[in-house]
Chains A and B, each alone.
Chain A
C-alpha cells in the first residue's frame, strides 16, 4: 500500500519530462563495434572454395609452364586421357570390377559386423565370447593378414572381397556395440515402469537407440572399403582401378595414374554422400534437433 502511494507521489506526469531524443541515446563510441565471437553465417557450397582454387592453381601452373608436364600433366590432359580410356573401354571395365569388389566386401562386412555386434551387445555371454576376439583382431593390421589369406584363399576375388569385408566389419561392429551398450539407464527404468518386457525393450528402445551407431559404422566402413580396395588391387590383381594405376605407374604414364586417383576421389566422395543421405533419412528425429 505504502509503496503504491509513494510511487504515485514521486511519479511526475509523463508530459513534464523531456526525454532525450533517441539519437542522443546512441553509445558514445559508435565507431567501435565489438567483434562477434561467432564464425559468421555459413555459405552454401562454401567448402568447394578450397578445391576450386587448387584446381585453378593447377590449371594456371600448367598453362604458364610453371608445372612440368612430366611430373604433373595439365588438367585437360587428364580429361583427354579419361576420354581415351573410356573410348577404349578400359575405364568402364576396370571400374565395374572395382565396384563389384567394394559392393560385395562392404555388404558382407556390414552384415557380419551388425549380426556379431547384436550378439555381443545384447548378452553378457555373447560379449565374453566375441568382444575379446574382435579386439585382438583389431590390433592386427589388416595388411599383416594378407599373406595368410593368400595362402588360404588364393589370389582370386574371394581373397580380395574377404579383405575388404574384414576391414568394413571392424568399425560397424565397434560402433553398433558401443551404442547398444550405451543405452541410457533411465530408459531401462522407463521400460520397467510401463512393463515393456524384454522384446519390447529391445525393439523400441535398444535397437532404435543404436541406429546412430550403425550409421557411424557405415560411414567409417565405406571409407575403409575403398582403402582396402586400393591395397588389394595394388598387390596382386589383373583388373580394377588399382591395377590400372599400378600398371600405368610402371610404364610412367602419369596421366593415367591421375585419372585413377580422380576416380577414387569421386567414388569415395559419392559413396559417403549416399551414406549421409541414408543417415539423414533414418535419423530424421535428429535432424529436427540440429535445426
Chain B
C-alpha cells in the first residue's frame, strides 16, 4: 500500500514544466510549473488577465494554434465544466449527459450520474426548462459520467446566485471526494478556493506566485484570515482596500 502511494505521488496526474503561451507576441504564461496529484483538489486564483483561462485551455488542449512551448502531461480522460452549463438546447437532459459517451449501459450510467447531482426524474426535461443551478448540475453530471482523471472547472459557479452557489460547493466537494479525480478549479473567489481546495495556487504575470496547502489550521479562524489577506494581496486587493470596504 505504502509503495503504491509513493508511486502515485511520484507520477502526478498533471505535470506541467516551463509552460509558455502567448497571443500576438504578448506572453500570457511565462514558464509555468504545476503538478496536480491524483485525487488532489487545486484551486487556481488570479486576477482578470493573469492567464487563468489560458492555463486551463492549455490543459484541456483547446488552444490549437496558440503559440507556445513547454512540457505538459495530462491524463487521457479529462472533463471540463464551463462557466455556462453549455447544454445543447435541442437535446433532452439525458441526451446531453450521454453526448458522445461510449461503452456499455450508457443510459444507466447517465441516470446514475443525474441521481448523484440530485436531478433524478428530470432526464426527459429540455435544458431551457431548468434553472441555472440545475443546468450547471447537468453539466457536472455530463463530466462525471465520463469518470475523468482530471476535472477542469472554469469559474463554474460565477453565474449562479449566492445560495445556489453554496449548495453547488457542497455538491462538488462531495462528488470529488467520492470519485477522486484530480481537480483544477479556476476561480477569483478566495472564499470558494479556501472552502473547496486542498491546495491553492495564485497565478500572476504568467507564473505561479503562491502554492499553499489548505489544512485544518488554514480552513478556519486566525489561519484562515491570514491566508485570505495574503491571497487577496497577491491578487491586488490590499488590506487597506478591504478595511476601507469593511468600514462602509
Q: A-side interface residues toward B, CB under 8 Å?
A: 186-187, 189-197, 200, 204-205, 208-209, 211, 283, 285-286, 288-289
The answer to whether A285 and B89 touch across the interface, beta carbons within 8 angstroms, is yes
Contact flag A194-B62 (CB < 8 Å), given A208-B91, A288-B126: no
Q: Which of A192, A194, A288 contacts B99 (CB 8 A)?
A: A194
The answer to whether B100 and A195 touch across the interface, beta carbons within 8 angstroms, is yes
Q: How far is the CA of A285 from the CA of B88 in the complex (A)?
A: 10
Q: Mark B139-160, 1 if CB is under 8 A from A, else 0.
A: 0001000100000000000000
Interface-lining segment among B34-42, B79-87, B200-208 = B79-87
The answer to whether A285 and B100 touch across the interface, beta carbons within 8 angstroms, is no
The answer to whether A285 and B82 touch across the interface, beta carbons within 8 angstroms, is no
Task: Kindly list 17 other residue pairs between chains A and B, CB separation below 8 angstroms, not including A192-B60, A193-B62, A285-B89.
Answer: A186-B84, A189-B62, A189-B82, A189-B86, A194-B99, A194-B100, A194-B101, A195-B100, A196-B99, A200-B100, A204-B99, A205-B88, A211-B90, A286-B89, A288-B128, A289-B89, A289-B126
Q: How far is the CA of A211 from the CA of B146 in the complex (A)?
A: 28
The answer to whether A208 and B128 touch across the interface, beta carbons within 8 angstroms, is no
Contacts of A193 in B (CB 8 A): 60, 62, 78-80
Contacts of B128 in A (CB 8 A): 285, 288-289
Main SS class of interface, B: loop
Total A-B Cβ pairs within 8 A: 54
- The reply to whether the CB of B69 lies closer than 8 angstroms to some CB of chain A is no
Q: Which of B86, B101, B142 contacts A187 (CB 8 A)?
A: B86
Contact flag A204-B129 (CB < 8 Å), given A189-B82, A194-B142: no
Contacts of B80 in A (CB 8 A): 189, 193
Q: How far is the CA of A191 from the CA of B91 in the complex (A)?
A: 14
Chain B interface residue bracket vs A: 20 to 34
Q: Mark B60-100, 1 if CB is under 8 A from A, else 0.
A: 11100000000000000011101010101111000000011
Q: B-side interface residues toward A, CB under 8 Å?
A: 60-62, 78-80, 82, 84, 86, 88-91, 99-101, 126, 128-129, 142, 146
Q: Which of A189, A196, A208, A211 contacts B100 (CB 8 A)?
A: A196
Contact flag A204-B91 (CB < 8 Å), given A187-B86, A189-B62, A190-B82: yes
Q: How far is the CA of A209 from the CA of B82 in the complex (A)?
A: 20
Q: How far is the CA of A196 from the CA of B102 in the complex (A)?
A: 10
Q: How far is the CA of A188 from the CA of B61 in the complex (A)?
A: 13
Q: How far is the CA of A285 from the CA of B99 in the complex (A)?
A: 17
**What's the minimum C-beta distance from A184 to chain B, rounded to whole angstroms?**
9
**What's the minimum C-beta distance from B183 to chain A, rounded to whole angstroms?**
15
Contact flag A204-B142 (CB < 8 Å), given A193-B78, A288-B129, A289-B128: no
Nearest-neighbor residue (CB-CB) of A287 within chain B: B126
Contacts of A187 in B (CB 8 A): 86, 88
Q: How far is the CA of A192 from the CA of B86 in the complex (A)?
A: 13
The answer to whether A192 and B62 touch across the interface, beta carbons within 8 angstroms, is yes
Q: B78, B80, B88, B100 — which one has the most chain A CB atoms within 10 A of its CB?
A: B100
**What's the minimum C-beta distance from A212 to chain B, rounded to whole angstroms?**
9
Contacts of B129 in A (CB 8 A): 288
**What's the minimum C-beta distance from B221 to chain A, rounded to whole angstroms?**
20
**What's the minimum C-beta distance from B184 to chain A, rounded to whole angstroms?**
13
**What's the minimum C-beta distance from B158 to chain A, rounded to whole angstroms?**
15
**What's the minimum C-beta distance from B114 to chain A, rounded to whole angstroms?**
16
Contacts of B79 in A (CB 8 A): 193-194
The answer to whether B82 and A186 touch across the interface, beta carbons within 8 angstroms, is yes
Q: List 8 A-B contacts (CB under 8 A).
A: A187-B86, A190-B82, A192-B62, A193-B62, A196-B100, A200-B100, A211-B90, A285-B90
**What's the minimum C-beta distance from B14 to chain A, rounded to whole angstroms?**
16
Q: How far is the CA of A204 from the CA of B142 in the complex (A)?
A: 15
